[in-house]
Structure 1
Amino acid sequence: MRFLVTGSNGLVGSRVCALLERAGHEVVGLGKGPRRTPLHHAYVECDLTDERRLSGALEAAAPEVIIHPASMTEVDSCERDPEQAFAVNVGATGAVARSARKLGAHLVHVSTDYVFDGEAGPYDEQALPNPRGVYALTKHMAEQAARTFVPGCAIARTAVVYGWPAAGRANFGAWLVGAFSQGQPVRLFEDQYVSASFADSVAEMLVELGERKLGGVWNTCGADVVDRVSFGRALCEVFGFDAGLITPTRLADMKLASPRPLRSGLRVDKVRAQLRSQPLGLGESLRRFHAAWQAGRGA
């Protein structure tokens, strides 16, 4: 099958491309700036906010399936620059979806648990979104844009994606490893509950949604909902770091630019029942994360 993957330099996109290559699919990756991965698939440098160039790249690739992880994910940056957040998260998704409709391609759009307000998580696929903040609003609008042009698309919601090696800016897990490796103390939220998701596992689920051309909403995330302090302590146990470096704090004390959902997290019953690629529990995810870190260090 012919696949096109946006954000192919990124944490999830690069792993999706690697899995597709390994499975023998024809792959075209789209990314901002030069290629930053050692993969062999075709690559097109493309700013997704340039709709004319984006549409041309998609039409030239003529994919059967488009997997769209690319987005502006820095929550506070979105709050400070809503125009850019709208352009990347909503405008680009609308352009991708319009091209998918024109090409007759199946679309797998990657979204987030932030579409919920965090008042009553964890959430299943039938829960009604209530986004707060620019990032959350633009990701919710992106879901609507995808559905508008490709009603049979898959909406794949994930949360706090981490992996090694990091791609671009450090993800939550990679940031913790970097800090703990240097003996640096960190402050983690004890009152924010999330479905932390290992990037390799997320990529496996996205690839399956694409290969099987499945539609609807899917929670493609980690299997366990934990607060960030518990995640940090579990990481320390697996990696052998000092959990005493963690200082629990509350979200309200940080005075961040953008609101975050507190009791968030996503239920994975549907994925467990219907996908071959199963969501990983926290322990297994961290063991795989640790193995990737050790391999990257040549350990």
Structure 2
Amino acid sequence: MQKIMITGATGLLGRTLYNTLINDFEVIGTGFSRAKAPLHSLDLGNQHAVIDFLEHHKPDALVHAAAERKPDVCEAAPEQTIALNVAASEFLAKQCAQRGIHFIFISTDYVFDGKAPPYLESAQTAPLNLYGRTKQQAEQAVITQSKQHSIIRVPVLYGDVAELAESAVSVIATQISATEKTQHDNWAVRYPTHVEDIAFTLRDLLKHPANLGGIFHISDTQAMSKYQMAYIMANILGYSSTLLEPIDQPSQSAARPHNCALADSRLNNLGITHQRDFKVAIGKILRNVAT
């Protein structure tokens, strides 16, 4: 049985990866300050600790899901962002290459400027903000270490959350009101993708390691702005949609691309497709958190 190591297993994506992959593989999950058994605490900034961990556990594949993903936080803390998103990723990729470990790096659609969608895996990157630039730099470092390493680009994610603020999608439910008007971005086009569908896709790839290597895009195809997501959530929660006001121009501190639609061409060629209806999925999440 393959042994799969996951970094960032305390986060939304990493937690779902752990809970999904453990059904088919031996899985070792790591986190940092929030790690509790059966997860292991591992400081990715401590290179000696990382080497010792790899030497002890000897995974066949490592899925690197740990990252700073909030663009505004990245802009406010650039040194910490670069240390985690770039330096730690490069070091892990190097150590995996030396040990013959399949390295799978979770990247983002924000490596693109959003001006010419949809983007194939071979498209030229041109990030607009620090978050996107750190991911772009990490991608380059990862591929330099080994052509067998994989880069997985994903869009904005949502899923079964411990709290609604854990996802940039589900947090919208906390920003709308039953009694007051609220404003929501209606400029950027997003493709919210459920983390379980990311996990199912990686499971399918890991079952056939010969398919790994290079860049993969994993994305749902339902295009919507945050305003449109808010509209759906308001209806689910029984709020009046007339209280929602669209913002039709960029309004956040870190620059965002307009439309970074990812074309999942490699996965389609492999016959790997996992998607779900957003309205049904977000409704289930909101009901679960409410109860």
Q: Same fold (TM over 0.5)?
A: yes
Aligned residue number for residue 246 of structure 1: 244
Aligned residue number for residue 280 of structure 2: 287
Aligned residue number for residue 228 of structure 1: 226
Change (3 A) 1:239 1:60: farther
2: CA distance, partners of 1:205 / 1:94:
24
Q: Quick one: which amino acid aligns to residue 143 of structure 1?
A: E
Shift of 1:273: 3.4
Aligned residue number for residue 10 of structure 2: 9
2:53 is aligned with 1:60: no
1:173-212 alignment, distance < 5 Å: 173-180=169-176, 185-212=181-208
Change (3 A) 1:210 1:240: farther
Q: What's the secondary structure of 1:174's corresponding residue?
A: coil
1:1-299 alignment, distance < 5 Å: 1-23=2-24, 25-35=25-35, 42-166=38-162, 169-180=165-176, 185-213=181-209, 214-238=212-236, 240-252=238-250, 254=251, 256-280=252-276, 284-298=277-291
Shift of 1:70: 0.9
Q: What's the secondary structure of 2:43's corresponding residue?
A: coil
Shift of 1:210: 2.7
**1:219-238 Cα distance to aligned partner (Å, 9 max, x none):** 11212232322233234345
Shift of 1:33: 1.2
2: CA distance, partners of 1:54 / 1:108:
16
Q: Pairwise CA RMSD of aligned residues? A: 2.2
TM-score (norm 1): 0.87
**1:84-115 Cα distance to aligned partner (Å, 9 max, x none):** 11100001101111121122111111100100
Which segment is superposed worse, 243-252 or 164-173? 164-173
5+ residue gaps, structure 1: none
Shift of 1:201: 1.2
2: CA distance, partners of 1:215 / 1:198:
23
Q: What's the secondary structure of 1:114's corresponding residue?
A: helix
Shift of 1:77: 1.6
What count of residue pairs does the alignment treat as equivalent? 288
Change (3 A) 1:128 1:34: same
2: CA distance, partners of 1:268 / 1:181:
36
| Identity over aligned pairs, percent | 25
1: CA distance, partners of 2:233 / 2:195:
15
TM-score (norm 2): 0.90
Change (3 A) 1:222 1:242: farther
**1:195-225 Cα distance to aligned partner (Å, 9 max, x none):** 2111111221122233322222111121223
Q: Quick one: which amino acid aligns to residue 289 of structure 1?
A: I
5+ residue gaps, structure 2: none
- Is the Cα contact below 8 Å between 2:158 and 2:170 reproduced in 1? yes
Shift of 1:296: 4.2
**1:155-205 Cα distance to aligned partner (Å, 9 max, x none):** 111111112214795312221223347656442221111221111112211
Q: What's the secondary structure of 1:164's corresponding residue?
A: coil
Q: Quick one: which amino acid aligns to residue 198 of structure 1?
A: H
Shift of 1:30: 1.1
Which segment is superposed worse, 120-129 or 50-59? 50-59
1: CA distance, partners of 2:278 / 2:126:
29
2: CA distance, partners of 1:291 / 1:58:
38
Q: What's the secondary structure of 2:39's corresponding residue?
A: strand
1: CA distance, partners of 2:180 / 2:216:
37
